[in-house]
């Protein structure tokens, strides 16, 4: 039976006391017996800090690795007056974002260029992918500080460039290549220009006089960046200069990029930051995504020296499933356990699941989702239900509770690797007063769509991408920068 603690505990008082004494207390989250306790007061729903303070994040160099402080974009977007609206908007955007990703995969597989017409079901609202791409770091390009979004589902890095035909508002000054002696234009005859198709889904187009390599990245939702490829000195922080870093100098950019100067692609293809720095970092990077509701920092670590991680459980590795056509990271999800019960579904181990830093909610094939939901609801009974919200259909009203005890959810991957979902990654607060709190996992529309492991379930984990060894590792870690 699931134990819950009502506001005025009666019979459960003794048990609760005992539990409190035995439990390991970590950030307001207690952990015991394959179940975890989520405190309703854990989330602070802060108003948001001054945007100026978070646009210059720190970097540190340690044991051959470069450690970049990583923050949630919301902590930089000024005051959040209405958290409820914000939380709900994130979900709406996440749904658009998923459809745009699915359509991007389809067009890459079918060899078509992605133009906006392919994505007709998605309304022309800007910046959807970018609104769900929540994590930012600060780097130096051509000697200037830039705060950029990080994305494992993108390959080409880009920043807005002067002169702009069209630029959205950003916090840092817009990069001006003509004042940077280290900037070079990439010509369309160069091999990097040929790589654009796999990196962006669109072929490079030759400009005239000089024959620049013009790129287009459409995020499938009306937001885009267009410009020419260039190379520049990229400094990831102290002692880590990347010479001739290939990036997009964006002259025509539209979308709600949250004041960031651009984006850094951590994908698999040859133009990504990871491929371009593989001589320096061995093709290994990792991140720890902080929880969104506070101003916590996480980290993006370039390089694979595990001595810099602060993981509290051993790292378990799984094989990355090669997919030569799609520049994304795929894993083989072989099972899910709820508490100590293994969920049964025929689709486990069938197709690769994408792991993504820019999709919020994990999407599972319908058969797996249904089995997971049934088992979860079975073990997590006795709580008042609440209406579904958007893609989330398993919702509860916790407004009468100070804390709830929830069954552990573990995702298992080929090679006995596991992702033990942090207690903050199980429920999505649709309403901050906890009157509508939903299981933060959703179903895909069709069994044959590509499943995605979203960033909500990756919080407070060290997630290690070893692109050379073609392995991905998970370990629990409370994310901080220090």
Question: Residues 168-207: x/- map of binding to ligand NAG (CB under 6 A)?
Answer: ----------------------------------------
Quote the CA–CA distance of 95 and 220 in Å, as a whole number: 13
Applying CB under 6 A, does 8 fall inside the site for ligand NAG?
Answer: no
CA distances from 90 to 128, 134, 184, 314, 352 (A): 9, 10, 38, 32, 25
Residues 279 to 298 in contact with ligand NAG, rule: CB under 6 A: none
Residues 446 to 475 in contact with ligand NAG, rule: CB under 6 A: none
Catalytic residue, candidates 94, 95, 119, 151: 151
Applying CB under 6 A, does 49 fall inside the site for ligand NAG?
Answer: yes
The single residue listed with the structure tokens 């108003």 is: 47
With CB under 6 A as the contact rule, the residue among 238, 312, 313, 448 that binds ligand NAG is: 238
119 is a catalytic site residue: no
Q: What phi, psi does 374 have (nearest 5°)?
A: -60, -45
- Taking the least distance from each CB to ligand NAG, the nearer of 96 and 330 is 330
3-class DSSP state of 36: strand
Structure tokens given for 460: 């407070």
User: Could you tell me which of 339, 333, 320, 347 has the C-alpha nearest to residue 468?
Assistant: 320
Which positions ≥6 away from 136 have C-beta within 8 Å?
Answer: 57, 70, 71, 72, 73, 76, 147, 148, 149, 150, 258, 260
Quote the CA–CA distance of 2 and 19 in Å, as a whole number: 13
- Taking the least distance from each CB to ligand NAG, the nearer of 371 and 434 is 434
Q: How wide is the angle at C-alpha 355 spanned by C-alphas 325 and 69, nearest 5°? A: 120
356 is a catalytic site residue: yes
With CB under 6 A as the contact rule, the residue among 164, 205, 233, 321 that binds ligand NAG is: 321
Q: How near is the Cβ of 451 to ligand NAG at its closest, in Å? A: 12
Asked if 145 contacts 172 with a C-beta cutoff of 8 angstroms, the reply is yes
Going by DSSP bridges, is the β-strand pair 362-364/441-443 parallel, antiparallel, or unpaired?
parallel
- Taking the least distance from each CB to ligand NAG, the nearer of 207 and 349 is 349
- Taking the least distance from each CB to ligand NAG, the nearer of 173 and 400 is 400
With CB under 6 A as the contact rule, the residue among 20, 33, 44, 50 that binds ligand NAG is: 50
Quote the CA–CA distance of 198 and 156 in Å, as a whole number: 10
With CB under 6 A as the contact rule, the residue among 27, 334, 367, 402 that binds ligand NAG is: 334
Applying CB under 6 A, does 435 fall inside the site for ligand NAG?
Answer: yes
Quote the CA–CA distance of 5 and 403 in Å, as a whole number: 6
Applying CB under 6 A, does 305 fall inside the site for ligand NAG?
Answer: yes
Q: How near is the Cβ of 290 to ligand NAG at its closest, in Å? A: 18
How far is C-alpha 135 from the geometric centre of its chain's CA atoms? 7
- Taking the least distance from each CB to ligand NAG, the nearer of 371 and 430 is 430
Applying CB under 6 A, does 316 fall inside the site for ligand NAG?
Answer: no
Applying CB under 6 A, does 138 fall inside the site for ligand NAG?
Answer: no
Applying CB under 6 A, does 39 fall inside the site for ligand NAG?
Answer: no
With CB under 6 A as the contact rule, the residue among 9, 207, 335, 349 that binds ligand NAG is: 349
CA distances from 156 to 151, 161, 200, 353, 471 (A): 10, 15, 7, 22, 22
Residues that bind ligand NAG (CB under 6 A): 49-50, 63-64, 238, 305, 307, 321, 332, 334, 349, 351-352, 384, 386, 397, 399-400, 414, 435
Active site amino acids: 151, 356
């Amino acid at each position: 039976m699931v134990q819950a603690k009502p506001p005025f505990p009666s019979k459960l008082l003794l048990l609760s006391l005992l539990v409190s004494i035995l439990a390991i207390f970590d950030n307001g989250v207690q952990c015991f017996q394959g179940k975890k306790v989520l405190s309703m007061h854990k989330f602070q729903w802060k108003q948001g800090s001054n945007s100026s303070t978070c646009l210059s994040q720190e970097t540190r160099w340690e044991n051959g690795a470069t450690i970049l402080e990583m923050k949630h974009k919301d902590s930089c977007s000024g005051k959040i007056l209405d958290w409820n609206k914000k939380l709900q908007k994130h979900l709406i955007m996440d749904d658009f974002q998923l459809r745009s990703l699915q359509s991007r995969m389809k067009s890459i597989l079918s060899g078509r260029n992605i133009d906006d017409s392919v994505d007709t079901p998605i309304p022309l609202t800007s910046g959807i992918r970018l609104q769900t791409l929540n994590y930012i770091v600060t780097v130096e390009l051509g000697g200037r500080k830039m705060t950029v979004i990080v994305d494992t589902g993108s390959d080409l890095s880009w920043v807005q460039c002067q002169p702009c035909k069209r630029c959205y508002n950003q916090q840092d000054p817009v990069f001006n290549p003509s004042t940077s002696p280290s900037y070079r234009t990439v010509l369309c005859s160069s091999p990097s220009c040929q790589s654009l198709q796999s990196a962006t889904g669109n072929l490079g187009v030759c400009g005239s006089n000089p024959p620049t390599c013009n790129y287009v990245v459409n995020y499938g939702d009306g937001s885009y960046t267009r410009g020419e490829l260039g190379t520049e000195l990229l400094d990831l922080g102290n002692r880590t200069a990347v010479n001739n870093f290939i990036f997009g100098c964006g002259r025509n950019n539209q979308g709600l990029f949250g004041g960031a100067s651009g984006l850094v692609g951590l994908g698999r293809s040859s133009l990504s930051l990871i491929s371009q720095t593989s001589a320096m970092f061995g093709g290994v990077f990792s991140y720890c995504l902080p929880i969104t509701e506070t101003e916590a920092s996480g980290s993006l670590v370039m390089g694979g020296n595990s001595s810099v991680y602060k993981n509290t459980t051993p790292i378990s590795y799984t094989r990355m499933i090669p997919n030569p056509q799609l520049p994304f990271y795929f894993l083989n999800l072989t099972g899910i356990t709820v508490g100590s019960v293994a969920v049964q579904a025929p689709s486990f181990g069938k197709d690769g699941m994408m792991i993504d830093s820019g999709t919020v909610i994990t999407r599972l094939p319908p058969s797996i989702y249904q089995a997971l939901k049934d088992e979860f609801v079975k073990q997590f009974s006795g709580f008042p239900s609440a209406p579904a919200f958007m893609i989330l259909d398993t919702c509860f009203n916790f407004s009468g509770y100070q804390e709830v005890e929830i069954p552990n959810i573990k995702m298992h991957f080929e090679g006995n690797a596991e992702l033990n979902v942090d207690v903050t990654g199980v429920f999505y607060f649709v309403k901050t007063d906890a009157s509508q709190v939903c299981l933060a996992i959703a179903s895909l529309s069709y069994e044959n769509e590509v499943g995605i492991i979203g960033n909500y379930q990756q919080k407070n984990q060290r997630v290690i991408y070893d692109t050379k060894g073609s392995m991905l590792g998970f370990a629990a870690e409370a994310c901080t920068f220090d």
